[in-house]
Amino acid sequence: MKFMSGYYTSSGAGGRPNQDSFSIRFAEYPGGDMVQIVLCDGMGGLADGEKASAAAVLGFHEWFTHGAKTFYRRGLDWDWLETEWRGLVRELNRAIYTYGQTTGCRLGTTVTAMMAAKDSYRILQVGDCRVYAMEAMPTQLTVDQTAAVHKMMLGQLTKEEANRDPARNVLLQCVGASAKCRPVFYGGSISAGGMFLICSDGFWHHMEDGKVRNHVAVRSVRTEDKKEKCSWQPETYFSGICKDAVEECVRMGEPDNITAIMIGTAEAEGQ
């Protein structure tokens, strides 16, 4: 499988420092590509949230340098990947939590990481950033670890009510805020032409809005038409989708930081 990407981020309409951090890393191997995407939304006063999200992204970024090779040599062993990532989150949680205890500040970060290779993917989730499969209608692949979703699962709120409830911003866990953190994993298959959206809560707050949803859903399904044009640049195209959608969120007055990342797929040569 061949992977393509694009992204856009904004501090939002509230004028806050942008505490979203992200990384996209590719590796080429016989028969296709491998891609790791990590998006973290930091929490904490002033620069503390930025420190937490940047530290988590850096941890995954550095892991990929050696981990991707081992993952490939092990025949894309997804169970091994989950074990590695679980240990990495444990170490990141310990480091950020210790820093907060030492400095007397409370900080933390969400972590949503996705690895895609060949015809499969895995997602690690801590917090409330989201991953969507971009089909005719976006399909949410992750579950928000928030008080509002917890209420919904208990039958106290409908999905629509949970999306509007103030508790949608209350996290049940994040990396670095407490002594323990337990990531959740999701997995599935990938087909050529499939697309994924990874976004922070500043973006998905508006996914139910037609204008924002159409930017990422309607334009993404037109990608096959674009591929027929020799001048088509996938990174520019996907980044343009993200930029238009993020700027629509800003125009709607979203006060939080906003990040959107799109991943597209195509058959690798020779497949």
SS3 content of the chain, % helix, strand, coil (to 5): 40, 30, 30
Per the structure block, which two tokens stand in for 222? 């037109």
Amino acid 193: pLDDT? 86
Beta bridge partners of 196: 133, 263
Beta bridge partners of 184: 125
Amino acid 230: pLDDT? 45
Per the structure block, which two tokens stand in for 29? 């191997």
Amino acid 145: pLDDT? 96
Amino acid 220: pLDDT? 56
CB 97 within 8 A of CB 177: yes
CB 117 within 8 A of CB 33: yes
CB 5 within 8 A of CB 263: yes
Q: Which amino acid is at 138?
A: P
Q: pLDDT of the chain along its 271 residues, tens only?
A: 889 999 999 999 988 889 999 999 999 988 789 999 999 999 876 568 999 999 999 999 999 999 999 999 999 999 999 999 999 999 999 999 999 999 998 899 999 999 999 999 999 999 999 999 987 778 999 999 999 999 999 999 998 888 888 888 899 999 999 999 999 999 999 988 889 999 999 999 888 777 777 777 655 545 555 445 444 577 888 999 999 999 999 999 999 999 999 999 887 665 5
SS3 of 67, please? helix
